[in-house]
């Protein structure tokens, strides 16, 4: 149990286009999901907290208009990188906390590697 | 505020030898502590956690970790390392008194187990 699925795993796009990454909890409901960005051989940087039915909470320095987050249901959050540029190329990872499991660990997706040409 | 430090960027051991990956934490209250492992181009896999109770916790793949409150440490250990344990390891902490589920991650430690 506690599987988080991300799609796509890999995406290559042209500069100026927008890319949507999906994060789904397959066997549990998640009121809260998190989006991280990871540079090569570095730690995870929390970008935002995705809240079902309400606006996402962004960490300081993260452009909310650049990284659009929508948490439309208890099992799906999406991250849209708008007008992508080469500096947005990165590994994006989502995680989810099962609703009601207050002490539990977060479950992570497999990550999505974005390359902007 | 909550934070984690992993003092070693890299740990190299021979297969069959003990493996230790160090982690120290800082929180204002009682911590929830976690270890995750990441293989190249993959997400994070949960290894083990400390919430309360016994200071020695056992997790997946033969790993264990000991919570030491006086030293604010939560070192990850494995008695006999395997080549397949080579990966990037992250320690993470959450302060439950903050009322959210955010984790703070350490910088990560790359473990290389040589045959």
Mean predicted lDDT score pLDDT of chain A: 91
B86 and chain A in contact, CB less than 8 A: no
- Mean pLDDT value of segment B31-47: 91
In contact, A116 and A89? CB cutoff 8 Å: yes
**Best mutation site among B40, B44, B108, B112 for testing chain A: the one with the most A CBs within 10 Å?**
B44
Q: What band does A1 get if pLDDT is binned at 50, 70 and 90?
A: low
Q: What is the mean pLDDT of chain B?
A: 93
pLDDT of residue B88: 95
- pLDDT of A37 reads 95
Hey, is B66 helix, strand or coil?
strand
Across the interface, of B51, B101, B110, the residue whose CB is closest to A97 is B101
Smallest Cα distance from A40 to chain B, Å = 10
Phi, psi angles (nearest 5°) of residue A40: -50, 130
Using the Cβ of B101 and the Cβ atoms of chain A, whether some distance falls under 8 Å is answered with yes
Taking only the tens place, the pLDDT of each residue in A29-78 is 988 999 999 988 788 899 999 988 889 999 999 999 999 999 989 999 99
pLDDT score of B35: 97
Return the pLDDT at B92.
95
Tokens encoding A31? 């009121």
**Which residues in chain B are contacts of A42 at CB distance < 8 A?**
107-108
Residue A103, pLDDT score: 61
Percent of chain B's residues with pLDDT above 70: 100
Cβ contacts from A onto B, under 8 A: 54
Confidence class for position B56, pLDDT limits 50, 70, 90: very high
For the segment A84-88, the average pLDDT, to the nearest whole number, is: 95
Q: What is the mean pLDDT of residues A97-112?
A: 81
pLDDT mean over B28-38: 92
- The residue of chain B with its CA nearest to that of A100 is B101
Angstrom distance (rounded) from CA A48 to CA A57: 5
Q: What is the pLDDT of residue A23?
A: 96
Give chain B positions within 8 Å (CB) of A108: 36, 43-46
* Residue B100 confidence class, pLDDT cut points 50, 70, 90: confident
pLDDT at position A100 over 80: no
> Which pair of structure tokens corresponds to residue B85?
């344990």
In chain B, the residue whose alpha carbon lies closest to the alpha carbon of A45 is: B105
Average pLDDT over residues B21-47: 92
Of B41, B88, B96, Cβ closest to residue A111: B41
For B82, the token pair is 């395997």
Q: Do A105 and B34 touch (CB under 8 A)?
A: yes
Looking at the predicted structure, is the pLDDT value of residue B106 above 90? yes
Of A46, A105, A109, the CB nearest to B43: A109
What's residue B63's pLDDT? 97
DSSP string, A55-106: --EEPTT--TTTEEEEEEETTEEEEEE-S--GGG-EEEEEEEE-TT-TTPPP
**Predicted local distance difference test score (pLDDT) of residue B38:** 93
């Amino acid at each position: 149990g506690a599987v988080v699925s991300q799609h796509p795993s890999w995406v290559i796009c042209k500069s100026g286009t927008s890319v949507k990454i999906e994060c789904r909890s397959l066997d549990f409901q998640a009121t809260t999901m998190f989006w991280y960005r990871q540079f090569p051989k570095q730690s995870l940087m929390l970008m935002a907290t995705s809240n079902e039915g309400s606006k996402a909470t962004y960490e300081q320095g993260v452009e909310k208009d650049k990284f659009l987050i929508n948490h439309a249901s208890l099992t799906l959050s999406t991250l849209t990188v708008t007008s992508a540029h080469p500096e947005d190329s990165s590994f994006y990872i989502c995680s989810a906390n099962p609703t009601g499991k207050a002490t539990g660990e977060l479950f992570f997706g497999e990550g999505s590697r974005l390359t902007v040409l | 505020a909550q934070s984690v430090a992993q003092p070693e960027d890299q740990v190299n051991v021979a297969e069959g030898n003990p493996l230790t990956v160090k982690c120290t934490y800082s929180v204002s209250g009682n911590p929830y502590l976690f270890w995750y492992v990441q293989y190249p181009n993959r997400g994070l896999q949960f290894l083990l956690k400390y919430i309360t109770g016994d200071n020695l916790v056992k997790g997946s793949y033969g790993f264990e970790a000991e919570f030491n409150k006086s030293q604010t440490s939560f070192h990850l250990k494995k008695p006999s390392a395997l080549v397949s344990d080579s990966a990037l390891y992250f320690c993470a902490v959450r302060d439950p008194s903050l009322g959210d589920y955010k984790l703070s991650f350490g910088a990560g430690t790359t473990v290389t187990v040589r045959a």
